[in-house]
Amino acid sequence: MTPDVLKNIADTLEARREAAPQSSYVASLFHKGEDAILKKVAEEAAETLLASKDKDKLHLVREVADLWFHTMVLLTYHGLRPEDVVMELHRREGISGLDEKASRKTT
C-alpha cells in the first residue's frame, strides 16, 4: 500500500521519538515539541512554493522531499503513519473534489 521508503522512514522516525535530543536532528525536533515541528513544515512549504516559482524541477523535487519528510515528522508526533494518509487518499479516490469537500463536517 505505502511505498517501502515511506514505511522505512516512518519506522526510523518512530524509533527517534524517544531518543536523546543530541542523538539526531529528528530527535531534537521531537524534543523541541510541536511548535518547532510546525515551524519546519511551514518553512519547507514556503521553500516548495519558491522552488516552483523558480521553474527548477530538481529544486522543486528536493523541496517537496523536505516537505514530505517534515510532514512525516509531524504525523509521527501525533502517533500517525503514512499509511493513515494513504488510507484517506484511497477513501477519496474516485470522488469529485467538490463532493468530497462538501461532505466534510464543518465545525
The per-residue pLDDT for range 6-64, each reduced to its tens digit, is 999 999 999 999 999 999 999 999 999 999 999 999 999 999 999 999 999 999 999 99
Q: Which of 42, 20, 17, 41 is nearest to 30 (CA)?
A: 17
Q: How many CB atoms lie within 10 A of CB 54?
A: 11
Alpha-carbon gap, residue 37 to 34, rounded angstroms = 5
Query: pLDDT value at position 100?
Result: 67
Query: pLDDT value at position 95?
Result: 76
Query: Half-sphere exposure (CA, 13 Å, Cβ side) for 72?
Result: 23
User: What average pLDDT does range 82-104 have in this prediction?
Assistant: 83
Domain boundaries, the chain: 5-81
| Secondary-structure class of domain 5-81 per CATH | mainly alpha
Instruction: Taking the CA atoms of 87, 76, 53 and 5 in sequence, report the sign of the dihedral they define.
Output: negative
Predicted TM-score (pTM) of the model is: 0.85
